[in-house]
Amino acid sequence: MDKKEMRKMIKQRLAAMDRPVYEQKSFDIAAKMYALAEWKHAKTIAITVSADFEVDTWQLIRFAWLTGKIVCVPKCSPDTKSMQFYRLEKFSDLEKVYAGLYEPNPEKATPIFSNQLDLVIVPGLLFDQKGFRIGFGGGYYDRFLSSYEGQTISLAFSIQLLETLPVEKYDLPVQKIVTDEEIIIC
């Protein structure tokens, strides 16, 4: 199975998850995340705004705000395959972009540079035990992580873990993966 087929397969499996199961697993992941030293010590967190089938990050963003953390979300530039993080202070500063994703409206948000980020929560569709992942196919995070030196964690439902993934030379692993069943140190 190639990466494209793997992406399609996991998206179907995630979309088939019953809402109560999705909510409970997302809650379990969030609870594990809040207990991590990386989360507790981070003052500035970079995180994507989750799509319907991804681990719910909306609750993580709310909790980060409630506990005084600075939340930054990425704005992707498809023409340059780059992304810029912006401080998000309220959900109404988001705009819906391609593929129905929510990103910060640059006219309402302040740019944040990578050296200001304490923790980056890296999205993905599939993961292995070593921290490698298959993302959504744009390569945005691999490019970003090549020059980022801080903490990296991914969130995943246990069904998103595979024994092995195809790894390419530019792929970079995350340091930890938090699932509904375990925390994997990569």
Q: pLDDT tens digits, the chain, 186 residues: what are they? A: 788 899 999 999 999 999 999 999 999 999 999 999 999 999 999 999 998 889 999 999 999 999 999 999 999 888 888 899 999 999 999 999 877 789 999 999 999 999 999 999 999 999 999 999 998 878 889 889 988 989 999 999 999 999 889 888 888 899 999 999 999 999
Q: Rg for the chain (alpha carbons), in Å?
A: 15
Delimit the domains of the chain by residue range: 3-185
CA distances from 25 to 35, 61, 109, 124, 157 (A): 16, 17, 31, 16, 7
Q: Where are the alpha helices (DSSP H) in the chain?
A: 3-15, 19-35, 37-41, 58-66, 140-145
Task: Kindly state the DSSP code that residue 146 receives in the 8-state scheme.
Answer: T
pTM of the complete model: 0.92
Which residue, among 146, 152, 136, 3, has the nearest Cα to 78 in the 3D structure?
Answer: 136
Q: Tell me the CATH number of domain 3-185, given options 3.40.50.10420, 2.30.30.830, 3.90.550.10, 3.40.1360.10.
A: 3.40.50.10420
